[in-house]
Amino acid sequence: MSNKTEQNVHNHWLVKVFFITFILSLIFNYLSTEVVESVSIVTSIIILIVVILIGILFDLVATAVTAADEAPFHAKASDKKKGAKQSVKLVKNADKVSNFCADVVGDICGILSGATSALVSVNLSNALGLSNITIVTMLVTATVTALTVLGKALAKHIAIDKAEEIITTLGKVMAVFSK
């Protein structure tokens, strides 16, 4: 592929990822805000934890796909193993997969967890009858930040150690949804 063609493909990816991120962010932000404002504190905390876990899971995939070696997946594909072709495609496109998982989904989850934690703080303060929400907001934000950083650190460690297994599993899951 010529440099100009590669640049065009790259530019197309950048435009595509911008619009995907914009649309997903709008949708998830609207849904999470609407849902968190209308449910109990316990449910909103569960939603917050789920958003954090999704961010961690996608960070795990982003790290695994960049750490994985392509060769074992070619061997599995030649043996017609289920999901091997999808695994090869993931690893061949590691830059795009990693960008989508860590930057698109991961960053959206980070922003959503911040917005959701603010709503949880307000709801929790109201339930406790507090007029000053500063301390509750600080505690919720610090907890969300610490859980996210801890989770991503653990995920990165696991992803590097178990990259082949993670990508094999993801390839099998993708094969179920493939034509």
- In the chain, pLDDT over 70 holds for what percent of residues? 99
At residue 39 the predicted structure's pLDDT band, cuts being 50, 70 and 90, is: confident
Q: The tokens 């982003």 sit on which residue? A: 62
Average pLDDT across the chain, whole number: 90
* CA separation for the pair 103, 138 (Å, rounded): 25
The Cβ of residue 176 has, within 10 Å, a number of other Cβ atoms equal to 9
Query: Above 90 in pLDDT, residue 30?
Result: no
Tokens of 84: 């091997």
Q: Give CA–CA dist 173/59, Å, rounded.
A: 17
Domain ranges across the chain: 3-177
Q: How does residue 69 score in pLDDT terms, banded at 50, 70 and 90?
A: very high
pLDDT at 24 over 70: yes
Task: Report the 3 state secondary structure along 93-112.
Answer: CHHHHHHHHHHHHHHHHHHH
Weakest mean pLDDT among 6-15, 17-26, 111-120: 6-15
More confident call, 172 vs 14: 172
Which pLDDT value is given to residue 6? 76
What is the helix (H) or strand (E) element at residue 69, kind and residue range?
none
Q: What is the pTM of this model?
A: 0.84
Contact assessment for residue 63 and residue 156, using Cβ atoms and an 8 Å cutoff: yes
Is the Cα dihedral 78, 80, 86, 87 positive or negative? negative
- The distance of Cα 76 from the centroid of its chain, to the nearest Å, equals 27
Q: What is the pLDDT of residues 87-135, one digit of tens each?
A: 999 999 999 999 999 988 998 899 889 888 988 998 899 889 998 899 9
